[in-house]
Amino acid sequence: MTADIPGLRLDRRTALAVTGAAATALTLAGCDTYGANEAASTAPAGAGPGKQQQPAELATTAEVPVGGGVVKGDTVITQPTAGSYQAFSNVCTHLGCKVNEPADGKIVCPCHNSVFGLDGAVLSGPAGRPLDSRGIRVEGDRIFSE
Ligand code: FES
């Protein structure tokens, strides 16, 4: 058997070898494509570029005393009244020092003694504005960043 392609004449053996190689290449390409799609479809949600980060657990409610608070990472979490939680950046709005953990119902900056309430408001300067608030969400006994 021969294959007649204009300008090309192949005997049977050469035609079969070329056909087999082409079929193998197409099969491998199909497998490669399949694997790539599978990997893309099993990637965890939020893992791709440009996706928002998942909310992080900051603390448990048991860690935040009523009438006080706690510092977790760069976040101050307070509970001014039972069951009411608020969160703030721990960066003082005066010159950027990190505030102390809440004590005696207040948040004090050790650098120049600005004092903030458990609601983040300035009780005494030199800070001229409240601590920057942070969004949180309480689910059961766990507190998450928003
Ligand atoms: S940096 Fe906090 S009082 Fe000055």
Please report whether residue 44 resides in a domain.
Answer: no
Q: How many Å lie between the centroid of ligand 1 and the Cα of residue 86? A: 21
Q: How many Å lie between the centroid of ligand 1 and the Cα of residue 80? A: 22
Please report whether residue 3 resides in a domain.
Answer: no
Please report whether residue 21 resides in a domain.
Answer: no
Rounded to whole angstroms, how far apart are CA atoms 30 and 26?
A: 6
CATH number of the CATH domain containing 123: 2.102.10.10
Q: Among all chains, which residue has been given the structure tokens 């070329």?
A: 18
Please report whether residue 46 resides in a domain.
Answer: no
Please report whether residue 48 resides in a domain.
Answer: no
Q: Give the DSSP letter of residue 126.
A: S
Per-residue pLDDT of 4-35, as tens digits, reads 444 445 454 444 443 444 333 333 344 343 33
123 CB within 6 A, ligand 1? no
Q: Which atom of ligand 1 is nearest to the CA of 114?
A: 3
Stronger pLDDT, 52 or 38, i.e. the higher one: 52
Please report whether residue 74 resides in a domain.
Answer: yes
Predicted pLDDT at 51: 58
Query: Residue 73's pLDDT band (boundaries 50, 70, 90)?
Result: very high
Q: How many Å lie between the centroid of ligand 1 and the Cα of residue 131? A: 11
Selection from 133, 134, 102 nearest residue 118 by Cα: 102
Q: 101 lies in which domain range?
A: 57-145
Selection from 74, 50, 54 nearest residue 146 by Cα: 54
Selection from 64, 100, 103 nearest residue 85 by Cα: 64
- Is the pLDDT at 111 greater than 60? The verdict is yes
CB contact set of 69 (below 8 Å; sequence gap of 6+): 76, 77, 78, 79, 101, 102, 107, 118
The DSSP code sequence of 19-66 is HHHHHHHHHHHHHHHHHHHHHHHTSPTT-STTPPPPPPEEEEGGGS-T
Please report whether residue 23 resides in a domain.
Answer: no
The amino acid present at 32, given as its one-letter code, is D
Number of separate domains in the chain: 1
